[in-house]
Amino acid sequence: MPAKEYIPITLRPVQSKTAKAYDGHTDNRRFKRANKLYAFKIKGSTFWKLRYQNGFIPEYLRGQLFTSVNSMMKVVKAYYATRNVMATLA
């Protein structure tokens, strides 16, 4: 059975805190179901990247390649924690 080519990542605001955008302002767009974050495997390689269904990946995460989902999630969780957002695999 082939491995999944993509994995959805759920983003939720940390309870009792306000989610922050890259500039420090409040930003709740990423919690709408219309804009989901995905980890996807690059065809023909063992690397993983991130992609939003609509919109752009934050500059810090853009262009990074990961060798495993676990290493990717460590970076994603650390990044979004600074924005008062909890990231989990869906």
The average confidence (pLDDT) of the chain is 83
**Confidence (pLDDT) at 58:** 86
- Long-range CB contacts (< 8 A, 24+ apart) of 17-20? 17/84, 18/84, 19/83, 19/84, 19/85, 20/83, 20/84
- Residue 64: pLDDT over 50: yes
Which of 78 and 27 is assigned the larger pLDDT?
A: 78
- Residue 2: pLDDT over 60: no
Per-domain residue ranges for the chain?
6-89
Extended beta strands in 1-90, E state: 6-13, 37-41, 48-52, 85-89
**Confidence (pLDDT) at 3:** 59
**Confidence (pLDDT) at 28:** 65
